Each structure stands twice: as C-alpha cells, then as structure tokens.
Chain A
Amino acid sequence: MSKFVKSTLALALASTLAGPAFAHVTLEKQEAAVGTGYKAVFRVPHGCKGQATSSIRVQIPEGVVNAKPMPKAGWTLDKVKGKYASTYKPYGHEVSEGVKEIEWKGGNLPDDEYEEFTVSTYLDASLKAGTTLYFPVVQSCVDGSVTRWIEIPVEGKGEPESPAPGVKLIEKK
C-alpha cells in the first residue's frame, strides 16, 4: 500500500512539475493563412524525461509544399523527398514532389536548454481554412528514448498527453 501511495504521490508531483503546455513541442506561429508562405518554427523546451535531445524529426503534412529546413550548427540535416499525393501550384507553377520528412540529428540539446528548429514552407491554397494542420514530430534523445508528438486532438476529449504541434489555418487576406 505504501508503495502505491508513494508512486501516486510521485506521479501527482511529476504532473504538477511538468505543466503540459510548457513541456510540449509547439509551433511558434499558431495561425497562418492558406495560399501563403509559412515559416514553421518548432520550439523544443525539454528533452525526453531529463535526457538531452539528439534528434528532431518532422513530418511535412500533405498540402504543405516547398519545405526547406534551416541548417543548424552541430546538427546534421536529413531530408526525405518523395511524391506528393497530388499536384500543387504554389506561385503559379506545378509541383508534385518535394521534402516530406526532415530530421535534424547528431545534436545534443540538454534538457535544461531551449532550441528552435525552422522550416520554410508554403501552405497550398487547397488546404481548408478553419481547420488545424498538424506537423507530427518525433523527438529522440541520447539514451535512445523517444517522445512522439503525434497525437491529433479529438474534439471534446481534452488535450492528449503528447499532442502534435498544429497551426490554425485561416483564409488568405
């Protein structure tokens, strides 16, 4: 029983210390217009349970084209390119393939330091305004542990434990 009490207390304490919004990987700009360029800045406030972050992998969702990651000193960039599900026309000319996945790896970001990872993108006009576009992120740490920021919130169910960073889409002005 005392073990149970202890673990419950520990859990309760842990959940108070790690305020949800603070610890999540999020996008700096939470709102963007479709049919425009969007600089996606991923904010990484923490490692995985105290461990230093060694890799950040971002999946570029369908409809987000011309993704170009910003290099970062001390990190190696990996880009996975492939065909899009359909053809898009950013700035007037057709594109049907591009970067679909980006990984900054080989870095060492201690748990008590903060870092941002940037990707320049274009939000195609075919994306639906009023919805939220999610960029799933997989955070890996030096000890091999992984935190997946990939949960898509469901309406009426509250915030998931590890939500994917999202940007709210609005009409182009």
Chain B
Amino acid sequence: MKRPSPNPGMFRKVPLWLPPSLPLKRARRLGQGGHLPFDITDAACRSGHSPSPLWGGLGRGLGDLRQTLFRVLWAILALLLLPTLALAHAQLVSSNPSDGAVVASAPAMVTLTFNEPVSPIAIKLARPDGSVSLIETFRNVGSAITITPPPALSNGSYALSYRVMSEDGHPIGGTLGFAIGAPSAGGAALAADATPRASRLLILIQRVALYLGLFLGVGGVFALTWFGREARDGRTLIRVLLGLGLVSAGLGVGLQGLDMLAVSPSALASLAPWRRGLTATYAATLALAALAMLLALASLSLRGRLAAFVSLPALLMTGLAVAASGHASAAEPQWLMRSAVFAHAAGVAVWVGALFPLTLALKRGGEAGVAMLQRFSRGILPVVALLLTSGVVLAVVQVRKVEALWTTDYGVVLSIKLGLLVALFVAATVNRAFLTAPAVDRLAAIDVAKAARPLRLSILLEILLVIAILTTVANWRFTPPPRALQLAARQAVATGLMSDKAMVEVSIFPATTGPVKVTVTPMAHGTGDLTIKELSVILSNPAAGIEPIRKKAGIDGDGDYVVEGLRLPVPGRWHIRVEILISDFEMTAPEGDVTIGP
C-alpha cells in the first residue's frame, strides 16, 4: 500500500464552518495521489442526514431497493429453514462384533452402526499376519454399514479400520479390533486412517485464509461502503485479502478431498481429491464464499449507492457461506442453529471488517475519518449484541456441559477463543470509552493524525486479536463438538467381555460423564454352569488418574445385573471390570475398555 502521507497543514487550513462534505472531497482528491478523483453523484451520500447509518448509503430511490433487499432476506430465511438431513458429526454407536470381542468363528458379516447416516470412504482389514487389504464388499444403508469380510479368515486378531463421511461434511475414522477363536500376539495392528499432518496444516491455513477473505475482505468492503460511504482507504489491502480468500476457496475443494481420502498434499496433483471434495457440503460453503468475495470485488470498483447496494448481498452471502456447512450448522434445531451461524458470521464481518478501513481513515484524519468513526460507533453496538447472542446460542447448543470446556478438544478451542474475545472486548471498550471521544474531539479541533494515534494502535491490537481468534476457530475443523460426542453417547455403549469362566455383555447408559446405569448380562463361558453369588462392577480410568470406582450390582426384573447412580467424572477410555463371585472362595473377572463421551 503506497500512498503519499497526508499533509496535516492541508487540513488545518480548512475552515470549520464548511459543511463536512466539501473538505472531505478535497482532501481525498489531494491526498490520494494516483487515484482517480471520486465523483459523488448523490447528495444524500455526502450529507450524512440519512436516518440510519445502515440505510443511509442507499439514499433516494430507497423504496425499490428496500423491496429487493427484503426479497433477498426472505429467500435467505427460506434457505435457512429448509429441512436437512444433517444431524451432527458422526460417531460410531455400536458394532457387531463389538470392539475387543472374541468370536468363536469367522463372522459372516461385520456391522458398523453410526448415530447418523454416513457414506463410507474406505474400509480396510488387517489380518493376524499383519497384512492389510482394502475391503470393497460392503453395503451402506442409512446409518449402518454392513461389511462382508473376505472368506476363510483364519483364527487370530483382526483390526478393521473405517473412514466415513458424516453429514456435516467432515470425514471421521476409527478402528475396531476383534479376534476369531482367540486373540493372537502381534500382527493386526492398524491405526485409524488419519489425515496426514501436512494435509491438516494446509486445511488449517486454507481456513484462516478464507476467513480473512470473508471477514476482513468482504467485511472491509461493507465497512467502506456503509460506514465510510465513499471512503477508499485500504482498498488495495482489501483486494489482496479478497484475492487470498478466492484462492483459498478454490484450493479448499482439493484440500477437503485430501481430508476425505486421508492422503498427503502431493495427491493434489491428481483429480481424485478434487472430485471427492466437490461432493462434500463444504463445497457449498466454498462456492457461496467465492460468490461473496466476487461481489465484494465488484462493489470495490463501483461507486456510491451502487457499491453499497452490491456490498450488502456480499455480506449476507458471507453469512450464508459459513452457515452452509460445519458442526454448528449441522446441529438441531436447524432453523435456530443455521440462523445463529448466519448472524454470527455476518456480524463478525461487519465488526472486524471495519477495523482496517477505520484505522487507515483515522491515520489520514480529517472529517472523513471522524464521520466514519462516528457511524461505526453508532452502528456497531447492535451488531455486537447480535454477535454475542448468536455466540451464546451456538456455544450452549454445541458444548452442553460446562466441563466440556476443558475436557474436550472442541471446548479447549472455544475456551481459548473466549479468552481472546475477552481481550478483544477490553480493547474495544477502551476504544469506545476513552479513545473514541477524545479522538473525535481533537480531530474536530483539527489536531488530526496525532490525536487518533492511541485509538489507531488500539484498533491495530484489535485486528491482531481478530486474526488470532480466526486462527483459533479454524481448529474447530478437526474437533467434533461435545454435542455430537454426547449425541453418540446418548445411546448406550455396549461391549462384550470375557474371562476363563464367564462372558458378559455390558452396556453403559448414557455413555457420557455424570451418573450412568450399567447393565450386565452374564453367561457361562467354557464348561459348566455359572453360579453367581455376587456381581460387582469396577470402573477406572488410569489415563486420567481415576482410581477404581466399585459398585455392587442388583438384579432387575429381567434377571440382568444393574448398577445405578455410578458417576463417571471424565470422558475418555474407561476400564471396566466385572467381578463375579462364584462362591465364597472363587471369582472370575472379565474386563475390557469402553469409551465414554463428555
């Protein structure tokens, strides 16, 4: 950005009694060097007498425009209310055979059941000898995948790795271990298909770039045309940001494909990830984002009322783009969540988009800067209120339990974001309470650029915080929200455990932290009957440092052993041990692991 530094003396000579529009116009022409003179055709644009800062830019002929805008708004609303199939980040709810099960003979069928409809991407089987093969014989009906394993599987341990696409557009993967006959040593180790680090990093960078393009770029154009009216400061930077955003929107398709296929960035040279990426719901986000940024670019080359007219749909498109995919948009109730995401994204764009143009306008000084600052100050409060409201709605639905803020990755990201947000609000409040008024006063007293210096620094700090926040929230791409984890866990987690004398089916409901009900159905294993004098359930979580929690089970009407009111304090992998007292002197204790959601 090169621009001749403003000449303070120039402004000092402007008589105070002149209407603001006149010196404004002159100052720009003189200060902007190579830029074309700005031709103001609409008096309403200059006068600043419009009733509201938001509608002010539209000037006369407002009736038509308003009507069109309302139509657009209605269309957006209708889109938001469309019923969709999307529910959540998919989670494996159960499988047959269950994870860790030992089955007598090779299963004719392996079934994976998820909490929402999924589409399989890749399924692999690792055999006891360590060889891994891709399985293509599977059927996918709704939320279940039925896999026909290869024939003639020998005895030993197997690992089945699956990678599926969930409705919110994020691929998930996992591994299921089971054994035929008896577990074998070694072999059959198969890590869940994970997206390579390099691909994940690229996806993260792409997200941040897209956010910069949308929020600082489109938002910047919106601020220029609505708060700044005919201000042109920062247009070059905004163009760069919009270009960056457009590149990122294009690359996003391929990167999404990388994640779905769990391959490294080198695969971008082939068509596969691009084709795959186009099938994801995220492609809709990218398309809308690209449209928003193109509109913003168009708005930049337009003038006055028309520019403002074009920048509004760009802003609305930004909200739509963000609401079109992602965890939050996939949550129920859809009408609320999608509207909240839309409002949040549009609000963010209005707020943070204004920061760059504002700081540049203040640097240059003059009534233009003051007017912009005043319009921004007036208009921003309802926007921030909307931001906060939608943010609270989103956080409550997504996180559900306060503990999830530190016990889940998603929650940690949110906590960091909230921390940065507090800093941002402090900066904004300081701006508003201590810096804005003096800057306006002193600018009015023609003390220009120097007066606004603390304010400018504070806004710069805000911009840095905003970039930090955008980088933080980009991490949500990789963290399923506690809501989705809970949704999966609201269904019971069931597992089969075995010892030398007993076999038990254990189910924990709900599979979340807090009080749970454990139901145990014991069966004899091996020769002879199983007499049960007493049955206890012991749950521990060594990784989290939780010592065994032991409870004696009672018998319910169905003859199952039940433990109620057992409290699980943390999510994660829990060790479960069922102690069956056969006689005073003999017991058997099948044990295994279960996964508990937040």
**Chain A: residues with CB nearer than 8 A to chain B?**
1, 4, 8, 11-12, 15, 57, 59, 136, 138, 148, 150-151, 161
Q: Is B64 at the interface (CB under 8 A from chain A)?
A: no
Given the known interface contacts A1-B403, A4-B569, the answer about A148 and B587 at a Cβ–Cβ threshold of 8 Å is yes
Closest to B499 in A: A154
Q: Is B556 at the interface (CB under 8 A from chain A)?
A: no
Question: Whole-angstrom distance between the alpha carbons of A34 and B548 in the complex?
Answer: 38
Closest to A4 in B: B569
> Which of chain A's residues have a CB closer than 8 A to the CB of B384?
none
Closest to B544 in A: A8
Interface size on B, residues (CB 8 A): 12
Main secondary structure of the interface of A (DSSP, over half): mixed
Q: Is B39 at the interface (CB under 8 A from chain A)?
A: no
Q: From the candidates A8, A136, A151, name the one contacting B546 in the complex (CB within 8 A).
A: A8
> Which of chain B's residues have a CB closer than 8 A to the CB of A161?
548
Q: Is B581 at the interface (CB under 8 A from chain A)?
A: yes
> Which of chain B's residues have a CB closer than 8 A to the CB of A4?
569
Question: Whole-angstrom distance between the alpha carbons of A150 and B586 in the complex?
Answer: 6
**Chain B: residues with CB nearer than 8 A to chain A?**
403, 545-548, 569, 581, 584-587, 589
A24 nearest CB across to chain B (Å):
16
Instruction: Indicate if the CB atoms of A11 and B584 lie closer than 8 Å.
Output: no
> Which of chain B's residues have a CB closer than 8 A to the CB of A11?
547
A-B CB contact pairs (8 Å), 6 listed: A8-B545, A8-B547, A12-B547, A57-B585, A150-B587, A161-B548
B587 nearest CB across to chain A (Å):
6
A60 nearest CB across to chain B (Å):
10
Instruction: Indicate if the CB atoms of A138 and B584 lie closer than 8 Å.
Output: yes
> Which of chain A's residues have a CB closer than 8 A to the CB of B547?
8, 11-12, 15
> Which of chain B's residues have a CB closer than 8 A to the CB of A136?
584-586
Closest to B547 in A: A11
Closest to A1 in B: B403
Closest to B570 in A: A4
> Which of chain B's residues have a CB closer than 8 A to the CB of A151?
587, 589
Instruction: Indicate if the CB atoms of B585 and A150 lie closer than 8 Å.
Output: yes
Instruction: Indicate if the CB atoms of A59 and B585 lie closer than 8 Å.
Output: yes
Given the known interface contacts A12-B547, A15-B547, the answer about A148 and B403 at a Cβ–Cβ threshold of 8 Å is no
Question: Whole-angstrom distance between the alpha carbons of A35 and B403 in the complex?
Answer: 62
A3 nearest CB across to chain B (Å):
9
Other contacts beyond A1-B403, A8-B547, A136-B586: 8, CB < 8 A: A12-B545, A15-B547, A57-B585, A138-B584, A148-B581, A148-B585, A150-B585, A151-B587
A1 nearest CB across to chain B (Å):
7
> Which of chain A's residues have a CB closer than 8 A to the CB of B589?
151
Question: Whole-angstrom distance between the alpha carbons of A161 and B584 in the complex?
Answer: 17
Instruction: Indicate if the CB atoms of B403 and A138 lie closer than 8 Å.
Output: no
> Top 10 closest A-B pairs, CB basis?
A136-B585, A11-B547, A59-B585, A4-B569, A150-B585, A138-B584, A150-B587, A8-B545, A15-B547, A8-B546
A99 nearest CB across to chain B (Å):
14
Closest to B546 in A: A8
Question: Whole-angstrom distance between the alpha carbons of A40 and B403 in the complex?
Answer: 53
Q: From the candidates A1, A8, A12, A148, name the one contacting B584 in the complex (CB within 8 A).
A: A148
B523 nearest CB across to chain A (Å):
20
> Which of chain B's residues have a CB closer than 8 A to the CB of A150?
584-587
Question: Whole-angstrom distance between the alpha carbons of A138 and B534 in the complex?
Answer: 14
